[in-house]
């Protein structure tokens, strides 16, 4: 980590890889919201402000020009995971219900996957894991594969595109 700092009301964090990736997270939910900015090569910015008392989230994405997307959901809805594809596609994973979405550069939220894992003794696992969370989602360096984990029972899925063929009608 190039810089890491923590306090009761502020949690900034920056990380640089070869000078091309920056990540910043400021202010936990109990202090009014947080801000995240990411830069990969050129200019890509992502900002999300989530005041708990408003009962919702606001998300704005800027890739070159300005693109805004708003999504309202209760702050206590669980959380999310985020991965960014080299080409600019954002991937979201909801804590509940357990699903993964892609957010296209033109602002469309596209359902991609739902956790429907129910095992009947496969690899020694038995049970209904549909309520377990997605974790650790990341794109391969070439942006062709999305790797995502289902935390329990501990499985990793490799999902491939072509991402440009996905639509919100699927």
**CA separation for the pair 31, 19 (Å, rounded):** 30
Q: Which residues pair with 94 in a beta bridge?
A: 80, 99
Per residue in 11-51, pLDDT tens? 334 444 444 344 444 334 344 444 444 444 444 455 544 44
CATH number for domain 78-165, candidates 3.40.50, 1.10.20, 2.60.40, 2.40.10: 2.40.10
Distances (CA, A) of 103 to 15, 59, 67: 24, 11, 11
User: Is 0.85 surpassed by the pTM of this model?
Assistant: no
pLDDT-based confidence at 121, cuts 50/70/90? very high
Domain ranges for the chain: 1-76, 78-165
Give per-residue burial for 28-66: e unless 16+ CB within 10 Å, then b: beeeebbebebbeeeebebbbebbeeeeebbbebeeeee
pLDDT-based confidence at 9, cuts 50/70/90? very low
Q: Which residue has the higher pLDDT, 117 or 80?
A: 117
């Amino acid at each position: 980590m190039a810089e890491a700092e923590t306090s009761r009301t502020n949690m900034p964090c920056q990380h640089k890889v070869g000078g091309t990736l920056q990540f910043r997270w400021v202010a936990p939910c109990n202090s009014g919201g947080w801000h995240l900015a990411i830069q990969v090569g050129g200019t890509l910015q992502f900002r999300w402000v989530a005041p708990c008392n408003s009962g919702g989230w606001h998300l704005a994405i800027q890739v070159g020009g300005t693109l805004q997307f708003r999504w309202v959901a209760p702050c206590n809805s669980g959380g999310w995971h985020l991965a960014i594809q080299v080409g600019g596609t954002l991937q979201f994973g909801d804590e509940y219900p357990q699903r993964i979405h892609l957010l296209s550069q033109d602002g469309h939220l596209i359902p991609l996957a739902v956790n429907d894992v129910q095992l009947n003794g496969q690899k020694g696992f038995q049970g209904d894991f549909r309520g377990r969370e997605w974790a650790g989602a990341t794109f391969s360096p070439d942006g062709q594969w999305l790797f995502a984990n289902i935390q329990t029972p501990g499985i990793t899925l490799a999902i491939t595109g072509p991402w440009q063929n996905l639509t919100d009608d699927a």
